[in-house]
């Protein structure tokens, strides 16, 4: 009996792989923290110039999830995993949850890497580094399985991690297909071309982040919203200093469009914007002015 308890205690002690696992999780935290800060400040990561393959990936619609940088979600995953791996050094029961989190992280990394290679047709060294970290963590955790605990038998341990990873990846696929939010989905050619036409023709869309009608106006362009020639008039808050461009153009109502020197206030339908700006859409999708 005493020997059995001693065996359990030894099984719960540090494992030779524990330091490697924790080190990889910390490396993931450092990498995703850097990418999150870069995204928040609107800068380019080091060695990732404008229009480079890396920049294409970092600026794609897959780089944002629920309004936050995808790197932030990676940071939260690595931080949770680091916490579980620290506990795993003395509490073998943490292994199954750690395996689930690592499986989800690796599966999401596979999904985003596949999107990068086959859809965006560009790769990012930072993303590939995270891909390597996430998958190495998963492999080492599988090797690290506490064999002294019967409940960690493969038949009992694998269904939850595999199921959770499949559900999360399928959810991401549906999200980026535009099922839940059109803004996250693929761009519609007509809306994309109109938004580009408005921007290139010198039109301006003045609004404020707290204006509900402005948000409705943006929503009309779905995934092409970032192409609009939008000017935020209250970057410092409702009572802060207004944008100089808005003051110079005497913008007092939101939203306000200025197209070809003419002012239009309030929500303007897509068809109205096309007519006001002289935009025409041909059968083959070409833009004509």
pLDDT tens digits, residue range 62-80?
999 998 999 999 999 999 9
Quickly state the pLDDT bin for 116 (edges 50, 70, 90): very high
- Per-residue pLDDT, averaged over 247-272, amounts to 95
CATH 3.40.30.10 range(s) for the chain read: 189-288
Cα dihedral across residues 8, 9, 12, 14: positive or negative: negative
For the beta carbon of residue 184, count every other beta carbon within 10 angstroms: 21
pLDDT digits (tens, 9 = 90+) for 30-55: 999 999 999 998 888 998 888 899 98
Q: Are 175 and 184 in contact (CB under 8 A)?
A: yes
Q: Are 233 and 206 in contact (CB under 8 A)?
A: yes
- Per-residue pLDDT, averaged over 18-31, amounts to 97
Quickly state the pLDDT bin for 266 (edges 50, 70, 90): very high
In the chain, what's the furthest Cα-to-Cα distance?
89
CATH 1.20.1440.130 range(s) for the chain read: 2-183
pLDDT at residue 285 tops 70: no
- Per-residue pLDDT, averaged over 246-255, amounts to 94
pLDDT at residue 145 tops 60: yes
Q: Whose CA is closest to 104, among 90, 84, 125?
A: 84
For 127, residues 6+ apart whose C-beta sits below 8 A from its C-beta are: 57, 112, 113, 116
Residue 23: what pLDDT? Answer: 97
pLDDT at residue 26 tops 50: yes
pLDDT at residue 118 tops 70: yes
d(CA 82, CA 86): 6
For 153, residues 6+ apart whose C-beta sits below 8 A from its C-beta are: none
Residue 284: what pLDDT? Answer: 60
What would the CATH number be for the domain defined by 2-183? Answer: 1.20.1440.130
Q: Whose CA is closest to 75, among 19, 162, 134?
A: 134
Quickly state the pLDDT bin for 8 (edges 50, 70, 90): very low
User: Up-side HSE of residue 133: CA atoms within 13 Å toward CB?
Assistant: 25
What average pLDDT does the structure give for the chain?
90
d(CA 92, CA 8): 10
Residue 99: what pLDDT? Answer: 96
Domain 189-288 has CATH 3.30.360.10: no
Percent above pLDDT 70 for the chain: 93
Residue 283: what pLDDT? Answer: 52
Percent above pLDDT 90 for the chain: 73
Q: Which two tokens stand for residue 45?
A: 């990561």
Residue for token pair 């309030």? 266
In angstroms, the Cα distances linking 12 to 101, 140, 146, 170 are 20, 17, 8, 35
pLDDT at residue 9 tops 70: no
d(CA 176, CA 171): 9
- Least confidently predicted of 28-37, 125-134, 142-151, 263-272: 142-151
Strand extents, DSSP E, 116-245 = 204-207, 230-232
With b for 16 or more beta-carbon neighbours within 10 A and e for fewer, the 265-274 pattern comes to eeebeeeebb
């Amino acid at each position: 009996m005493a020997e059995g308890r001693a065996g359990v205690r030894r099984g719960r002690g540090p494992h030779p792989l524990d330091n490697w696992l924790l080190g990889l999780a910390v490396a993931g935290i450092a990498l995703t923290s850097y990418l999150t800060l870069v995204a928040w400040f609107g800068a380019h990561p080091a060695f990732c110039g404008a229009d480079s393959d890396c920049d294409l990936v970092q600026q794609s619609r897959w780089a944002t999830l629920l309004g936050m940088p995808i790197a932030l979600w990676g940071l939260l995953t690595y931080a949770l995993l680091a916490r579980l791996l620290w506990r795993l050094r003395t509490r073998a029961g943490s292994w199954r949850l750690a395996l689930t989190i690592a499986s989800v992280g690796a599966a999401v990394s596979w999904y985003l890497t596949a999107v990068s290679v086959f859809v965006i047709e560009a790769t990012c060294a930072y993303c590939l580094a995270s891909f390597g970290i996430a998958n190495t963590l998963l492999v080492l955790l599988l090797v690290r399985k506490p064999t002294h605990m019967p409940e960690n038998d493969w038949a009992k341990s694998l269904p939850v991690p595999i199921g959770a990873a499949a559900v999360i990846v399928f959810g991401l696929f549906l999200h980026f297909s535009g099922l839940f939010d059109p803004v996250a989905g693929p761009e519609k050619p007509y809306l994309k071309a109109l938004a580009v036409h408005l921007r290139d023709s010198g039109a301006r869309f003045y609004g404020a982040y707290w204006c509900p009608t402005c948000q409705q106006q943006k929503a009309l362009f779905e995934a092409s919203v970032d192409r609009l020639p939008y000017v935020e008039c209250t970057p410092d808050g409702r009572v802060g200093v207004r944008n100089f461009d808005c003051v110079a153009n005497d913008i007092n109502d939101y939203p306000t469009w200025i197209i070809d020197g003419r002012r239009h206030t309030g929500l303007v339908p897509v068809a109205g914007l096309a007519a006001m700006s002289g935009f025409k859409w041909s059968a083959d999708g070409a833009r004509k002015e």
